[in-house]
Amino acid sequence: MKIVLAVFVILALVSGTALSITLDEALKRAVDGSYLLKEQKEIVESYRFSYISTIDPYLPRVDIQSSYIRSLNSRDSVSSYSSFSSASDVGSSLDAYTFAGSISYRIFDGGERYAKRKGSYSLLEREKERYKGIRQDVIYSIKNAFYTALGSGLIVGKRREAFNSAERIYKLTFARYQEGITRKSDVLQAEVRMTTAKIDVQRAEREYEKALEDLKSLIFMKTEETVNADGPLEEPDYRADYASLAERAIRLKPEIMTQEKEIERLNMAYAEKRSAWFPKIDAELQQTRQDKRFFPEGRSDSFMINFTFPLFDGVGRYYNMKGALSDVGAAKQRLEETKRTVRLDIIKAIKDYELTLANISLYRELVREATTTFNQLLGEYRVGKGDILSLLQSEKDLASAKENEVDALYRANVALSYLEKVAYIYDE
């Protein structure tokens, strides 16, 4: 019986153990399992296959054709067969069989094939850049969720410390009341502070649970599974330089690269429209067999050079070309707007990041000052000096300062993650 009980206890402990996950593990899970990234991978593959298919116009074309003709008029039959059948066979046959084979190759098309192939390649490269941008968003999302969960967990600890301090003050005040040293109102005030601190703990625990749910969703864990964010919450030591970050982002940021590839594609679309103003030249080698037999023997070989140039087909060619040129101009303006937005996002992200670093220093100093004040007032209260209101206020100020220090730390890490996103400073 004792063995069975021990086994149940062990199983309960094991099942109740939460998985501790580090930031690197969370990033790997999120990137490997992201549905958005998987979708974009399939889109990239689709465009890759489309690009491969554009090699076809550069290759020769081979065609075969077979047909059966039944003449309903014997006189027509005689005239149509006279070129490939003997006189004795012509009058008696109303059937004709034709087999033709040809090899053709386009010699010149005014750059249409090249434009289509280059345009398809630009589409492929554009989707690859979009994949990088989506990956960038996924990484930021998981870092944001991880640091939020990590900070929320530490805030729970700080609020529990505050509750313990409030409970200690309450017990001290109640003991002094029993000795007749303090008033009943002092006990009530201490009790209110203790209850408030307990409510704050419960609220922090719920916020922590919600933060963990966000994290679990991003790393594809089930709701019933338990996980804890594991790792130190430290002050970032990265120092940002706007000029270098902006210059690097303009060169490498996926949003900008995507727009540049789009401009390349639209340039090729313009070249494709422009090719309609050039002639098309095709070469073709053809062999035709035709007579009354199922396997015809009458043979005709030919070699052709086809020259096609539309002298007039309306105004569509001109306006299609002008429209494509306007598309290129519009895309260039979108590129400049994207660059402007990127520069603005970077400078704002730097300022937010630097503000969080400054807040860390200020709140650390505030914690030291609040700790000194609280210890001083607590010591005075224990020896009968000071009042309960000052002590409770100092305890509350200390709890708030500790919580704000943790809040500043996790916000600094989140701000750095956002700066990495807008400035694209990931190590690929």
pLDDT at position 426 is 74
Contact of 103 with 285, CB cutoff 8 Å: yes
Region 250-279: mean pLDDT is: 94
Nearest to 422 by CA among 341, 344, 345, 336: 345
pLDDT at position 3 is 37
Contact of 193 with 166, CB cutoff 8 Å: yes
Region 195-201: mean pLDDT is: 94
Strands 280-291, 19-21: pairing kind: unpaired
Burial of 24 by CB count in 10 Å (0-12 exposed, 13-18 middle, 19+ buried)?
exposed
Angle at CA of residue 127, ends 324 and 111, nearest 5° = 40
Start-to-end CA distance of the chain, whole Å, equals 57
pLDDT digits 0-9 by tens, 101-122: 999 999 999 999 999 999 999 9
The answer on pLDDT for 142 being more than 60 is yes
C-alpha dihedral over 375, 377, 380, 386, to 10 degrees? -170
| DSSP string for residues in 44-56 | HHHHHHHHHHTTG
| DSSP string for residues in 275-322 | GGGS-EEEEEEEEEEEESSSS---EEEEEEEEEE--S---SHHHHHHH
The answer on pLDDT for 124 being more than 80 is yes
pLDDT at position 372 is 94
pLDDT band at 1 (very low <50, low <70, confident <90, very high): very low
Question: Would you say residue 133 lies in a domain?
Answer: yes
What are the beta bridge partners of residue 65? 100
pLDDT at position 17 is 57
Residues 6+ apart with CB under 8 A from 161: 399, 402
Question: Would you say residue 337 lies in a domain?
Answer: yes
Domain interval for residue 48: 18-60+110-279+315-423
* Rounded-to-integer distance, Cα 200 and Cα 186, Å: 21
The answer on pLDDT for 82 being more than 80 is no
Window from 92-106, 151-165, 190-204 with minimum mean pLDDT: 92-106
Secondary structure letter of residue 231 according to DSSP? S
Residue with the two structure tokens 């400049």: 336
Question: Would you say residue 119 lies in a domain?
Answer: yes
Question: Would you say residue 66 lies in a domain?
Answer: no
pLDDT at position 226 is 87
pLDDT at position 58 is 93
Q: At residue 333, what is the residue type?
A: Q
pLDDT at position 427 is 56
Locate 20 and state its tokens: 């501790």
Domain containing residue 224: CATH number: 1.20.1600.10
Locate 285 and state its tokens: 């080698």
The answer on pLDDT for 295 being more than 80 is no
Region 140-149: mean pLDDT is: 95
Nearest to 57 by CA among 231, 272, 218: 272
Question: What order do you get walking across the sheet with 299-308 strand by strand?
Answer: 61-70, 95-108, 280-291, 299-308
Region 88-99: mean pLDDT is: 65
Q: At residue 47, what is the residue type?
A: Y
pTM: 0.83
* Rounded-to-integer distance, Cα 357 and Cα 341, Å: 24
The answer on pLDDT for 231 being more than 60 is yes
Residue with the two structure tokens 């899970």: 29
Contact of 214 with 390, CB cutoff 8 Å: no
Question: Would you say residue 148 lies in a domain?
Answer: yes
pLDDT at position 86 is 43
pLDDT at position 7 is 32
Contact of 333 with 323, CB cutoff 8 Å: no
| DSSP string for residues in 72-91 | S-HHHHHHHHTTTS-HHHHT
The H or E element that residue 232 is part of is none
Question: Would you say residue 405 lies in a domain?
Answer: yes
Question: Would you say residue 287 lies in a domain?
Answer: no
Region 392-416: mean pLDDT is: 94
Contact of 121 with 51, CB cutoff 8 Å: yes
Burial of 102 by CB count in 10 Å (0-12 exposed, 13-18 middle, 19+ buried)?
middle
pLDDT digits 0-9 by tens, 328-367: 999 999 999 999 999 999 999 999 999 999 999 999 999 9
Question: Would you say residue 150 lies in a domain?
Answer: yes
Q: How many structural domains does the chain have? A: 1
* Rounded-to-integer distance, Cα 84 and Cα 131, Å: 63
CA 128 to chain centre: 11
CA 307 to chain centre: 49
As a whole-number percent, the residues of the chain with pLDDT over 70 amount to 90
